[in-house]
Amino acid sequence: MDAKILIESFAEFARSKNVDRPTMIRILEDVFRAMIRKKFETDENFDVTINADKGDLEIFRIREIVDDNSEDIWDFDKISLSDAQKIEPDFEIGEEVYEKIELEEFGRRAVQMARQTLIQRIKDLEKDILYNKYEEQVGEIISAEVYQILGREILLIDGEGNELILPKGEQIPKDRFRKGDTVKAIVHRVDMINGNPKVILSRTSPVFLERLFENEVPEVYDGLITIVKIVREPGERAKVAVESYDDRIDPVGACVGMKGSRIHAVVRELQNENIDVINYTDNLELYVSRALSPAKVSSISVNPDSKRISVFLKPDQVSLAIGKGGFNIKLASRLVGYEIDVFRELNEYDDEDVDLNEFSDEIDQWIIDELKKTGLDTAKSVLALTKEDLIRRTELEEETIDEIFRILRTEFEQ
């Protein structure tokens, strides 16, 4: 393989990978200089000129002519007068000899290794380009096409044919994709594993929801409305706290849009995830009240030391505050940064009811606390639910719930 064929084949391969010309030339020079160092131990006195477009390669060894008896005759950049005159009879001491080195002088094996090295350098460069490209796009929305569905992940390809990964844990539980579908997601992170970049996408990240709002709500994109915080149970419910420094802009109204036009587009993309948009405020009690929407709060007691908040509601509001699967109260707690305990307000008709704390001698306190987390603070509020309801709302075992029912029913039978 001569220099012209080697360079032209490499240049064609490099161009197919979108490698720019200066980078291509730099890689070629690096590889040829490595060949020179292997054969001559140094490349300091060599000049390498490459024209990738024409496939030209010129390598010159540059040495200063010294007397045959000089002490410097063995230096890498020196040549004796007698050896120099074998190249050109007119050479004299002190002149420089430019000796052209042909590629064939390095040997067939060295040239083949150079070809393999060049291809590998481009592949490594391609990996670096992919890594840097997506590293800069972390947190941004992209669209990619599904080309393979595996058990634990979905493999997608971008417009340039690069492979991207959407793990099962980063998919919305209701997501159902088929080969060829176009998927929107954010670039979650880029990992380098054994020298290979792995681009991980996400549809469950709060950032994905934030980017969707930026796409649908111009005021958010322009910075007129700020998204303070987002908490999500992907596919189920999300709470978005927003604020605006411009009194003329209603941040909630702008995010929802006329007849819900803006938020509906976001909800559809998130597989009908229920999204609550609320006005952010520094007033903690008001913020908690808004966070528990759609429930109406009667009163609030804050304990800053324990980072807990006790919320009191009318009986018909308790289930709204807790929400389906307990998602509403969990998200409200995460949004405000406090653990929220829900309590029913007792009225004159609840005189016969008994506070759960009265059963602390028969029921372990941690069990009572677990029930109170879901807004169940009296015996009748527990008995009003089925066993299945309690299993779904709490982390209690079925046998434990049976025993609770037995103890509470005994109290009223007496």
**What letter represents residue 337's amino acid?**
G
Backbone φ and ψ for 251, nearest 5 degrees, come out as: -65, -40
Which CATH entry fits the domain spanning 137-204: 1.10.3720.10, 2.40.50.140, 3.90.180.10, 3.30.465.10?
2.40.50.140
CATH 3.30.300.20 residue ranges in the chain?
217-280
Average pLDDT over residues 32-36: 90
CA gap 12, 15 in Å, rounded: 5
Q: Who contacts 342 (Cβ-Cβ below 8 Å, separation ≥6)?
A: 311, 313, 318, 321, 322, 329, 372, 373, 374, 375
% of the chain exceeding 90 in pLDDT: 40
CATH topology for 3-132? Answer: N Utilization Substance Protein A; Chain:P; domain 4 (3.30.1480)
pLDDT higher at 304 or 157? 157
Question: pLDDT value at position 177?
Answer: 93
Query: Is 90 exceeded by the pLDDT of residue 273?
Result: yes
Question: pLDDT value at position 349?
Answer: 45
- Could you tell me the pLDDT band of residue 154, with boundaries at 50, 70 and 90? very high
Question: pLDDT value at position 414?
Answer: 59
Question: pLDDT value at position 306?
Answer: 84
- For 159-206, what is each residue's pLDDT tens digit? 888 899 999 999 999 999 999 999 999 999 999 888 889 999 999 999
Average pLDDT over residues 68-76: 86
- For 369-400, what is each residue's pLDDT tens digit? 888 877 787 888 888 788 887 887 777 888 89
Q: Where are the beta strands (DSSP E) in 206-261?
A: 225-233, 237-244
Strand 274-279 and strand 237-244: the pairing is parallel
CA gap 58, 55 in Å, rounded: 10
CA gap 255, 225 in Å, rounded: 9
% of the chain exceeding 70 in pLDDT: 98
CA gap 165, 65 in Å, rounded: 62
CATH 3.30.1480 residue ranges in the chain?
3-132
Handedness of CA 338, 342, 348, 353 (dihedral sign): negative
Residue closest to 229 by CA, chosen among 283, 188, 302, 278: 278
CATH topology for 217-280? Answer: GMP Synthetase; Chain A, domain 3 (3.30.300)
pTM here is: 0.68
Beta bridge partners of 58: 49
Question: pLDDT value at position 301?
Answer: 87
Q: Please, what is the average pLDDT of the chain?
A: 87
Query: Is 60 exceeded by the pLDDT of residue 340?
Result: yes
C-alpha pair distances (Å), 292 with each of 28, 81, 308, 357, 379: 64, 94, 15, 25, 24
Residue closest to 182 by CA, chosen among 213, 209, 159, 214: 159
In 10 A of CB 170, how many CB atoms? 21
Query: Is 70 exceeded by the pLDDT of residue 106?
Result: yes
Maximum Cα interatomic distance, the chain, rounded to a whole number of Å? 126
Residue closest to 102 by CA, chosen among 62, 60, 41, 64: 60
CATH 2.40.50.140 residue ranges in the chain?
137-204
Average pLDDT over residues 117-130: 84
Query: Is 80 exceeded by the pLDDT of residue 342?
Result: yes
Question: pLDDT value at position 348?
Answer: 46
Query: Is 60 exceeded by the pLDDT of residue 60?
Result: yes
pLDDT higher at 388 or 226? 226
Q: Who contacts 361 (Cβ-Cβ below 8 Å, separation ≥6)?
A: none
Which of these ranges, 129-143, 249-263, 372-386, has the smallest mean pLDDT?
Answer: 372-386
Query: Is 60 exceeded by the pLDDT of residue 350?
Result: no
In 10 A of CB 119, how many CB atoms? 14
